Structure 1
Amino acid sequence: MFEQSRLLFLYAVTPVHMGAGQAIGVIDNPIQRERHTNHPNMAGSGLKGAIRHHLDTSWEKPLVNRIFGPETDSSDYAGAVSFGDAQLVAFPVRSLKQAFVYAVSPVTLARLKRLATLAKVNADWNVPSVESDKCCVTDKRVLSNGKLVLEAFEYDVEDSASTVLKTVAAWLADNALPQDAAHQYFRDKIKTDLVLLPDDAFSHFVENATVVEPHVRIDDESGTAADGGLFYTENLPPESLLIAPVFASIERFAKDKKPEAHMDAEQVMGKLADSLDKQLVQVGGDATTGRGQVVLHFAGEAKQ
């Protein structure tokens, strides 16, 4: 039984390719998506593996095994941490003003608030709503002639939820990104450039405004492009914000190897948070081309 929980925010610094493993459309290498919302996500198993690999470089191997469990060829005991799937919170969309905005929707904010409540992180705000074909903004500077222009779409603005949205934006600025000088600009931008879109409009952008890159497979003998070697890879764009729940239990050991002293759930979570908070971690594929760099940040304190 898991006795501690935390919220882990993931902020994309570079394009991120968490591959789906299969293609059913025109993109050869699509990213992972939720079945019911089609929002980009990151499977908890892949996230756990990436973080374990990252800690392999700073922790001693026995400690990694104690917290994450033994190698896959052994089943002596289970690990003491669990990572849930990372869900999308805010998606960057190209804007006529301010370069880009952080787009959210009632669904993404409702799911964020639910996770925060389950992890006992104070999220003292209501989930705002917005009329179809309209939007709500936190600051008028993102508007052009009184309208919000995103990609090739134009939205009328309603102010009914602007106060609530400003509260959400301030909460995200305080909890989603590290409180250091390197992220000051982006914390300020979230406060002013967060926009609320209807769920259908938000879904359009997360399905059609990702980073799709063409690649060419080179023939080893000729050194030129191989026949049929053109393929397309999808990436989650930089500045995307996701959240995942993290759980910890008492450290587990095989029955014949259990020592007298072992870490409890609070110590396990503390060790994990101390080592990962504010760290740049590589997740997903294409690491050698600079893809998959995300900044991790734990929100709130560990709770039972």
Structure 2
Amino acid sequence: MFEKTRLLFLYAVSPVHMGAGQAIGVIDNPIQRERHTDHPMIAGSGLKGALRHHLEGKWNKAEVARLFGPESNASDYAGCVSFGDAQLVAFPVRSLKRGFVWAVSPVTLARLKRLAVLAGCQIDWSVPQPDAEQALVADAGVLNQSRLVLEAFDFAAKESEALKTIAKWLADNALPTGPAHQHFRSKLGNDFVLLPEEAFSHFVRNATVVEPHVRIDDETGTADEGGLFYTENLPSESLLVSTVLASAERSPKDKRNGEPMSADEVMRILVAGNGKPGLDGALIQVGGDATTGRGQVVLRFAPETKEG
């Protein structure tokens, strides 16, 4: 039984290709999407594998196996950590003012709040509801003559203090700490817009990064005839959220020293490490096309609510 839950944010610093494994439309290599919303996502199984691979480069394999389970003979014992699917929170969209903004919808914010409450985070904001055909903005500086212009579309818009509260919460809790990310924390707190569901769905379906690739013939070193294909990527600056769950350690006595770790200890080591780097603040690689710089995301565990 899982006894500990933490909220984990994933912030893309390069385009991310977490492949769906099948193509239905004109894109040969589409990204994973939820069936009911069509929002981009990262399956929990793929996320767990990427995190395990990352930690195997930082810890020894025995330490990793105590948390994630054995690499072979999986029936020996189960791991004590679990990762939920990473759901989309905020999507970057090109804007007439300030370069780009982060777009959210009532559904993405409501799902974020639900996960945050389940993970024990202190949430003091409610999800505002925009009128039909109208957007809400955290800061009027993103508007052009009272209109929000995104890509080739413009929306009637008004400033919302409730949305600004959410933007500040995300800037403080979702983005990595440290001076390297200060600009983006400040930008997220201001360049943050809430779109109606239909408009948001249009952008997450049609404003991803689609790159043409050419397959090279091994013998000639030139383009293979008929080798043109298209790969879809989640754009950099995208923000996703997942849950991490921990139970008491399940590994047998001969695989550990001393008593099994409690769920609290498992989570602490996963987040902060144990004399070695943990996952909080780590730059990891998820998905495909790693050798071309794709799939780089920075992790941030939302702070735990302090008791008392």
Q: TM (normalized to structure 2)?
A: 0.95
Match of 1:130 in 2: 130
Structure 2 counterpart of 1:208, from 206, 212, 219? 206
Match of 2:141 in 1: 141
Mapping of 1:254-273 within 5 angstroms? Answer: 254=252, 260-273=258-271
Cα separation, 2, equivalents of 1:100 and 1:79: 41
Q: Is this contact kept in 1: 2:251–2:260, CA < 8 A? A: no
Structure 1 counterpart of 2:234, from 236, 251, 267? 236
Mapping of 1:288-299 within 5 angstroms? Answer: 288-299=291-302
- Code of the residue aligned with 2:301 in structure 1: it is F
Q: Which runs of 5+ in 2 are unaligned?
A: 273-277
Q: Is this contact kept in 2: 1:13–1:239, CA < 8 A? A: yes
Deviations 1:51-89 (A, max 9, x none): 000000111111100000001443200001000000000
Cα separation, 2, equivalents of 1:72 and 1:136: 51
Match of 1:31 in 2: 31
Mapping of 1:1-40 within 5 angstroms? Answer: 1-40=1-40
DSSP 3-state at the match of 2:28: coil
Measure how far apart 1:256 and its partner are. 7.5
Match of 1:48 in 2: 48
Does the C-alpha gap of structure 1 residues 171 and 257 become closer, same or farther in structure 2, counting only changes over 3 Å?
A: closer
Q: Is this contact kept in 1: 2:173–2:303, CA < 8 A? A: yes
DSSP 3-state at the match of 1:244: strand
Q: Percent identity?
A: 68
Q: Is this contact kept in 1: 2:122–2:305, CA < 8 A? A: no
Q: Is this contact kept in 2: 1:128–1:164, CA < 8 A? A: yes
Match of 2:88 in 1: 88
Match of 2:180 in 1: 182
Mapping of 1:217-228 within 5 angstroms? Answer: 217-228=215-226
Does the C-alpha gap of structure 1 residues 53 and 128 become closer, same or farther in structure 2, counting only changes over 3 Å?
A: same
DSSP 3-state at the match of 1:158: strand
Cα separation, 2, equivalents of 1:178 and 1:258: 33
Cα separation, 1, equivalents of 2:299 and 2:204: 21
Measure how far apart 1:255 and its partner are. 7.7
Deviations 1:195-224 (A, max 9, x none): 000011000000000000000001111221
1:300 pairs with 2:303: yes
Measure how far apart 1:178 and its partner are. 2.0
- Code of the residue aligned with 2:24 in structure 1: it is I
- Code of the residue aligned with 1:227 in structure 2: it is E
DSSP 3-state at the match of 2:167: helix
Deviations 1:80-139 (A, max 9, x none): 100000000000000011000000000000000000000010111001110121101111
Cα separation, 2, equivalents of 1:158 and 1:167: 15
Does the C-alpha gap of structure 1 residues 279 and 259 become closer, same or farther in structure 2, counting only changes over 3 Å?
A: closer
DSSP 3-state at the match of 1:234: strand
Measure how far apart 1:179 and its partner are. 2.2
Structure 1 counterpart of 2:247, from 246, 249, 257? 249
Q: Is this contact kept in 1: 2:140–2:158, CA < 8 A? A: no
Q: Is this contact kept in 2: 1:22–1:30, CA < 8 A? A: yes
- Code of the residue aligned with 1:114 in structure 2: it is R
- Code of the residue aligned with 1:193 in structure 2: it is D
Cα separation, 2, equivalents of 1:291 and 1:79: 28
Cα separation, 1, equivalents of 2:210 and 2:234: 9
Q: Which runs of 5+ in 1 are unaligned?
A: none
Cα separation, 2, equivalents of 1:267 and 1:253: 14
Cα separation, 1, equivalents of 2:305 and 2:56: 23
Q: Is this contact kept in 2: 1:93–1:103, CA < 8 A? A: yes
Q: Is this contact kept in 2: 1:79–1:252, CA < 8 A? A: yes
Cα separation, 2, equivalents of 1:122 and 1:280: 26
Structure 1 counterpart of 2:283, from 275, 280, 284? 280
**How many residues end up aligned between the 2 structures?**
302
Q: Is this contact kept in 1: 2:135–2:193, CA < 8 A? A: yes
